[in-house]
């Protein structure tokens, strides 16, 4: 997702008195809007007393709402509604003003599949400020896309729903179910946080409204509103819509263990919404449940890599290195391999030798699976051998034997150099006692069998053949 500009049509829906009429209608629009698109905008736009009142606001003037839906043409509409002074009809209350922006479905990707990125771009161009005397024919808009992650926090969603409710709501949306959420206020923030839990391309099909009173005509899949008197709950009973309120719920959903939902919930809990947006908003070629779970598993590995022990971490890396994947899934496999390599690098750097030995055979087996396995394992093998050489040269020589048994490079690679250093060190190593002398002879004989002719190995042969006095070595 890169910065750019999207060309959009626009329409203003509100109530004003003009020589040609009065009442709620489209009072201005760009020439590119089709007749059926205008009809859909008229049906979906709010009119008198349609905005929810924030429970914490002292004035209805603070109310605002947003909506997103597909038009009959296939294009998409993002709408922002607010109050624009007092009603002029004598009904009392506030006039509702709605700015609509219409663009091609493909352009939604440029906004990270996030309708609220469009709203923020509208704010940046003062399109959310009411214009009660616009020309009837409006120009096309050039709206900049902003690839930066959203700055919204999870507070609105987390205060409205407990963890079990959040998981149930996410599961319903992923299952394409209709849903009404009774939320006291901050509907736009709660809606954005919730929708960012869904893979970007899926959001194209989730029409929603946030901050609008319930209307049968709009019929959005997701509606966040303040159901002050329980009217929405009563009117939607028996319609197959899930309804979730602050003190009661008709949501009875078994949420099976899910890698994807687990990842999303962790970001919500930790208020890592920018990270959530970055992870869920790219183009996913396949958003089906089985593929989502595979993505979720990879994202969870990245998220919890520091909590996984080296053995399982190495197995995960091997699976990702040789997985048959393409597109976004292949990119995540590559990222998992990279982060596991980095994590193993840190773990092995200060690991005691017994811990290293637990995974050494698996690490060397992975190294033999060229070229990907070698490229992954060699830096870890080299680092481990260098660390062991500094701590316990005799054990380093034992570990190095296994590394040298196969795929020994003819060129002067880093591994070649560290193996040579270990042999040189072994050739000059004085045993500390008879037990270490026996261990030294055992390892030296194995090197002689493996690398006969090497000058340092030939010195080992002389050491094994000749009697030697054990000398204490500096610790």
Q: Give the position of tokens 């396995």.
A: 373
pLDDT tens by residue, 403-456: 887 655 554 578 888 988 998 998 888 877 888 888 888 998 999 888 878 888
Res. 142: pLDDT tops 90 = yes
pLDDT of residue 58: 43
Distance from C-alpha of 445 to C-alpha of 404, rounded to nearest angstrom: 14
Q: In sequence order, what are the residues at sequence separation of 6 or more whose Cβ sits closer than 8 angstroms to the Cβ of residue 32?
A: 9, 102, 140
Closest C-alpha to 2, from 141, 116, 109, 150:
109
Residue spans of alpha helices (H) in 226-326: 231-236, 259-270, 273-280, 289-303, 310-321
Concatenating the DSSP letter of every residue in 180-207 gives EEE-SS-HHHHHHHHHTTS-HHHHTT--
Distance from C-alpha of 383 to C-alpha of 364, rounded to nearest angstrom: 13
Read off the pTM: 0.86
Q: In sequence order, what are the residues at sequence separation of 6 or more whose Cβ sits closer than 8 angstroms to the Cβ of residue 135?
A: 28
Q: Give the angle subtended at the CA of 403 by the CAs of 401 and 408, to the nearest 5°.
A: 105
Average pLDDT over every residue of 197-213? 96
Most confident of 129-133, 236-240, 330-334: 330-334
Percent residues over pLDDT 90 in the chain? 57
Distance from C-alpha of 471 to C-alpha of 157, rounded to nearest angstrom: 70
pLDDT of residue 463: 80
Res. 149: pLDDT tops 50 = no
Q: In sequence order, what are the residues at sequence separation of 6 or more whose Cβ sits closer than 8 angstroms to the Cβ of residue 412?
A: none
pLDDT of residue 60: 45
Residue 148: φ, ψ to 5°: -65, 145
- Hey, is 9 helix, strand or coil? strand
Kind of pairing, strands 208-210 and 222-225?
Answer: parallel
Res. 255: pLDDT tops 50 = yes
Q: Which residues pair with 154 in a beta bridge?
A: none
Report the interhelical angle of 434-450 vs 455-465 (nearest 10°).
140
pLDDT tens by residue, 362-390: 999 998 887 899 899 999 999 999 989 98
Closest C-alpha to 155, from 251, 242, 270:
270
Quote the tokens at residue 380: 């870890």
Distance from C-alpha of 44 to C-alpha of 79, rounded to nearest angstrom: 9
Distance from C-alpha of 83 to C-alpha of 52, rounded to nearest angstrom: 11
pLDDT tens by residue, 282-327: 999 999 999 999 999 999 999 999 999 999 999 999 999 999 999 9
Residue with the larger pLDDT of the pair 310 and 152: 310
Q: Give the position of tokens 């006692």.
A: 433
Report the interhelical angle of 289-303 vs 327-349 (nearest 10°).
20
Q: Which residues pair with 29 in a beta bridge?
A: 11, 137
As a 3-state breakdown, the chain gives helix, strand, coil percent values, each rounded to 5, of: 50, 15, 35
Q: Which residues pair with 28 in a beta bridge?
A: 12
pLDDT of residue 159: 87
DSSP state of 1: -
pLDDT of residue 24: 92
Q: Specify burial of residue 255 (Cβ count, 10 A radius: 0-12, 13-18, 19+).
A: middle
Q: Which residues pair with 181 in a beta bridge?
A: 224, 244
Percent residues over pLDDT 70 in the chain? 90
């Amino acid at each position: 997702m890169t910065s750019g500009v999207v060309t959009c049509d626009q329409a203003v829906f509100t109530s004003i008195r003009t020589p040609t009429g009065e009442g709620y209608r489209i009072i201005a629009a760009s020439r590119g809007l089709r007749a059926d698109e205008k009809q859909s905008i008229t049906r979906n736009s709010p009119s008198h007393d349609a905005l929810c009142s924030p429970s914490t606001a002292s004035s209805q003037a603070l109310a605002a709402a947003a909506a997103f839906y597909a038009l009959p043409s296939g294009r998409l509409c993002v709408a922002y509604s607010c109050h624009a002074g007092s009603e002029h009809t004598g009904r009392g209350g506030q006039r509702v003003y709605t700015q609509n922006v219409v663009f091609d479905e493909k352009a939604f990707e440029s906004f990270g599949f996030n309708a609220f990125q469009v709203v923020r771009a509208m704010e940046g161009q003062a399109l959310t400020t009411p214009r009660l005397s616009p020309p009837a024919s409006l120009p096309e808009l050039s709206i900049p896309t902003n690839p930066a992650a959203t700055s919204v926090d999870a507070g609105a969603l987390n205060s409205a729903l407990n963890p079990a409710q959040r998981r149930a709501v996410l599961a319903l949306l992923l299952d394409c179910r209709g849903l009404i959420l009774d939320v006291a206020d901050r509907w736009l923030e709660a809606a954005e946080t919730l929708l960012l839990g869904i893979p970007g391309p899926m959001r194209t099909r989730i029409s929603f409204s946030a901050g609008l009173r319930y209307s049968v005509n709009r019929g959005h899949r997701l509606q966040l509103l303040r159901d002050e008197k329980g009217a929405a709950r009563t009117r939607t009973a028996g319609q197959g819509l899930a309804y979730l309120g602050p003190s009661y719920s008709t949501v009875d959903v078994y949420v099976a263990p899910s890698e994807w939902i687990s990842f999303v919930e962790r970001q919500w809990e930790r208020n890592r919404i920018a990270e959530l947006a970055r992870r869920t908003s790219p183009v996913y070629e396949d958003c089906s449940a089985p593929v989502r779970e595979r993505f979720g598993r990879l994202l969870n590995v990245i998220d919890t890599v520091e909590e996984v022990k080296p053995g399982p971490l190495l197995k995960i890396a091997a699976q990702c290195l040789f997985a048959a994947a393409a597109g976004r899934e292949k990119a995540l496999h590559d990222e998992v391999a990279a982060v596991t390599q980095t994590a193993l690098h840190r773990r092995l750097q200060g690991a005691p030798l017994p811990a290293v030995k637990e995974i050494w055979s698996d690490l060397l087996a992975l190294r033999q699976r060229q070229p990907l396995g070698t490229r992954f394992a060699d830096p870890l093998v080299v680092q481990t051998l260098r660390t062991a050489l500094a701590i316990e040269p005799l054990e380093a020589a034992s570990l190095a034997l296994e590394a040298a048994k196969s795929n020994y490079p003819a060129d002067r690679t880093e591994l070649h150099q560290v193996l040579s250093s270990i042999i040189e060190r072994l050739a000059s190593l004085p045993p500390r006692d008879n037990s270490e002398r026996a261990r030294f002879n055992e390892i030296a004989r194995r090197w002689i069998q493996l690398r006969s002719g090497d000058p340092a190995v030939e010195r080992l042969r002389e050491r094994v053949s000749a009697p030697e006095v054990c000398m204490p070595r500096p610790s």
